[in-house]
Amino acid sequence: MYIPAIYKNENQEDIKKFIAENGFAILVNQTNAKLWATHIPLILDENEAGKAILVGHISKENPQGESFKTNTEVLAIFTGVHSYISSSWYDHENVPTWNYVAVHVYGKVKTLNLEEATKSLKKLVDKYEATSEKPLRIEDLSKQTMLQARGITAFEIEITGIEAVKKMSQNRDAKNHQNIISELEKTGCPNSILVAQEMSKKP
Amino acid sequence: MYIPAIYKNENQEDIKKFIAENGFAILVNQTNAKLWATHIPLILDENEAGKAILVGHISKENPQGESFKTNTEVLAIFTGVHSYISSSWYDHENVPTWNYVAVHVYGKVKTLNLEEATKSLKKLVDKYEATSEKPLRIEDLSKQTMLQARGITAFEIEITGIEAVKKMSQNRDAKNHQNIISELEKTGCPNSILVAQEMSKKP
């Protein structure tokens, strides 16, 4: 991804946290010689060799899974809050822009066997059920329900590169920065308010 | 994109509206033999021949623009609201899932000249300034500010295919559907509440 230096995020802890909090990703590759993308939750983990991996699964009906056998190159895109930024909110003339946060993870994909797949499903469900009133647990599901696990292709992606952008008007002075936050809040739009909250965080 | 029949959205008006309301897209292609993605606003328009196009621009510093000269295949991904759906909210045992809306637009990209680029910037700015208190207008900007237009690669994408998914628990009966909405609202999470709102809309 092209990232101007001022917007590059190289804080690894921050990037890990972002992936954990924005885990619904887009998995991109070339499938049957066509750009292909699937929207799925991915979890950041470590393999037995201690290397950073992403773990996820797609339907067996999705041809992307078949493509993993011959083409291991994938890109996982994690997106966060974003909003249009009007330059009419600045105290000087300029062009409008867009504030956003995103992380691109490059890696090599390999499919998992049924046992590994089931373990990965447990981690995924435990993560998202952590705040449930009555947390669902994979190990409590009937054999019948767990047959659905045979309908998926589970995989891990050995990470080869991470690129992270955080474009949050860092190029503006304190006065303009604060004014952008106030104007975003005024819009009443949920996305804009989330960007205002992100911009308000101490770096 | 792999889309089970029940989640396929083929309502062209609905898709157009979605793109207009979720215009901050991800432009994917192969750049220097690598999967490449850029986060930018895109506008749905028509070219002089009356064909549907997407119009946008990226920084001239972004190598993706250079790649357009030799490889015209691109995929534009538009994403909407999404949320984890716990199967503990159903009245029967099942596995959890994710509700989401997305549109994938395939097309062939070509770069625009400076005059066409300036026109495209005007359309973009007019769209996003429509609700501004003091709408910024491209034609009011000084020559000095407009020099920034020379730092971009503007382009149009002639659309060759559109794939749209709307996965909003359509496979659940009325009682479970309503319960999912209630539970999403209870989470207090902005994304989940937006999904509840989307699920509450009449089809």
Q: For B5-173, which CATH superfamily applies?
A: Electron Transport, Fmn-binding Protein; Chain A (2.30.110.10)
Residues of chain A with Cβ-Cβ distance to B143 below 8 Å are: none
Q: Name the pLDDT band for A70 (thresholds 50, 70, 90).
A: very high
High-pLDDT (> 90) share of chain A, %: 92
pLDDT of residue B150: 87
Q: What is the pLDDT of residues A117-132, one digit of tens each?
A: 999 999 999 999 998 8
d(CA B141, CA B154): 18
**Which of A81, A95, A98, A150 is the mutation pick for testing B, counting most B CBs within 10 A?**
A95
Nearest to B153 by CA among B106, B104, B105, B120: B120
Cβ-Cβ contacts under 8 Å for A80 (sequence gap 6 or more) = A18, A22, A100, A101, A102, A198
pLDDT of residue B203: 64
Contact flag B26-A142 (C-beta cutoff 8 Å): no
Pairing verdict, β A97-111 and A152-167: antiparallel
Tell me the mean pLDDT in the region A147-174: 95
Task: Classify residue B171 by its DSSP letter.
Answer: T
Distance of CA A59 to the CA centre of its chain: 19
pLDDT at B196: 97
Minimal Cβ distance to B102: which of A36, A39, A106: A39
Positions in chain B whose pLDDT score sits under 70: 203
Tell me the chain A residues in contact with residue B58 when contact means C-beta distances shorter than 8 Å: 2
Q: Tell me the two tokens of residue A2.
A: 């092209």
Dihedral, CA of residue B122, residue A79, residue A81 and residue A134, to nearest 10: 150
- As given in the structure block, the two tokens for residue B124 are 């973009």
Q: ipTM of this complex > 0.85?
A: yes
Which pLDDT score, from 0 to 100, does residue A150 have? 87
- Judge: B2–A96 Cβ closer than 8 Å, yes or no: no
Per-residue confidence band for A48, with pLDDT thresholds at 50, 70 and 90: confident
φ and ψ of B134, to 5 deg: -120, 85
Q: Which residues of A touch B129 (CB under 8 A)?
A: 86, 88, 96
Residue (of B54, B100, B99, B102) closest to B79 by Cα position: B102
Distances (CA, A) of A78 to B50, B100, B132, B195: 35, 15, 30, 19
Encode pLDDT of A173-191 as tens digits: 999 999 999 999 999 998 9
pLDDT band at A203, cuts 50/70/90? low
Q: To probe the interface with B, which of A40, A58, A82, A86 has the most B CB atoms within 10 Å?
A: A86
How close does chain B come to A203, measured CA to CA in Å? 22
Nearest CA to B117 out of B147, B91, B149 is that of: B149
- Quote the minimal CA–CA distance from B62 to chain A in Å: 5
